[in-house]
Amino acid sequence: MMAAELRPTRPWLRPIVLAVGLAGGAGAAMAQTEPATLKLALNQLADQRVFFGHQSVGDNLLAGIQELAKEAQVTLPVVRVDSAADMKQAGLAHAYVAENTQPLKKLQSFERALTTKVPGLQLAALKFCYVDVHAGTDVKQLFARYQASMATVQTQQPGLRLVHFTVPLTTVQTGWKASLKRLLGKAPHGILDNLKREEYNQLVRQSYGQTGLLFDLARVEQTRPDGSAHTVEWQGRQVPALYPGYSNDGEHLNTLGQRHAARALVEVLAKASPP
């Protein structure tokens, strides 16, 4: 696995979302990003070559970044490619890793996309989807496979910085059906899956939270606009969940959620970028 050293924080990069990484707890407050600060971060990112493997929530993040770049009048290319070797310019190159519900296939797809050494490639990241981790997932086994795959990529691309993502969350079922399930001792839809995602995400945080190369998407998704953490109680536990205001379908990010998460991702990628 890559041994990246922490670089001094650039003075102009003030925290955008304090919920990124271990330093921000579930109730961490959010700081509004000043336009000038965000523009500097976007320009920093535009000078890098970044490869991103993902599926639909990844599209939400990219849409948010493009909207922020447009408003800041920053030229930040976002280009779809089949592999990292297809990158022709600085910016964000992204590929759809196959396939949803099959995280091991996604790992293989990500490795294949980075098989050929790409000169100038600085950052790469793979994001699992919420459907890849569910109540039946063996998270320890999956995380071990993830780490082995990242080690393979690191061997293929010496000097590459890998940014690690937590698994996104979903909202939790509400309404009379959810209340009835609770009366019957059954968990409303979304709770058990989010519990397992949190278990996986804790492994990610423990391994990468101090490296400066973690984007804690799950924690960003559960952080409300006022900085408080959105959780749902189940059997005495507070279960992290996607804040409903960030989604129209309970799974993907709406416009507000896209902008919220994109700001945090821009900061992480800009900080992770080599000098």
Which DSSP string corresponds to 62-106? HHHHHHHHHHHT----EEE-SSGGG--SSEEEEEE-S-TT-HHHH
Question: From CA 243, how far away is CA 257, in angstroms rounded?
Answer: 9
Taking alpha carbons only, the member of 117, 115, 101 closest to residue 49 is 117
Domain spans of the chain, in order of start: 35-272
Residue 218: HSE in the Cβ half-sphere, 13 Å Cα cutoff: 34
Taking alpha carbons only, the member of 227, 223, 216, 218 closest to residue 195 is 218
Taking alpha carbons only, the member of 258, 117, 100, 247 closest to residue 172 is 247
What are the residues facing 80 on neighbouring strands? 94
Question: From CA 169, how far away is CA 12, in angstroms rounded?
Answer: 31
Q: State the virtual CA torsion across 259, 260, 264, 269 in degrees, nearest 10.
A: -20
User: pLDDT for 2-14, tens place per residue?
Assistant: 333 333 333 333 3
User: pLDDT for 211-240, tens place per residue?
Assistant: 999 999 999 999 999 999 999 999 999 999
The identity of residue 60, as a single letter, is N
The per-residue pLDDT for 34 is: 76
Give the number of other CB atoms < 10 A from CB of residue 185.
Answer: 7
b/e map 123-154, b = 16+ CB within 10 Å: bbbbbbbbbbbeeebebeebbeebbebbebbb
CATH topology of domain 35-272: Rossmann fold (3.40.50)
User: Above pLDDT 70, what percent of the chain?
Assistant: 88
Taking alpha carbons only, the member of 101, 123, 113 closest to residue 152 is 113
**What residue ranges of the chain have pLDDT lower than 70?**
1-33
Q: Residue 75: exposed, middle, or buried by beta-carbon count in 10 A (0-12, 13-18, 19+)? A: exposed
Can you read off the two tokens belonging to residue 161?
Answer: 């910085």
The per-residue pLDDT for 35 is: 85
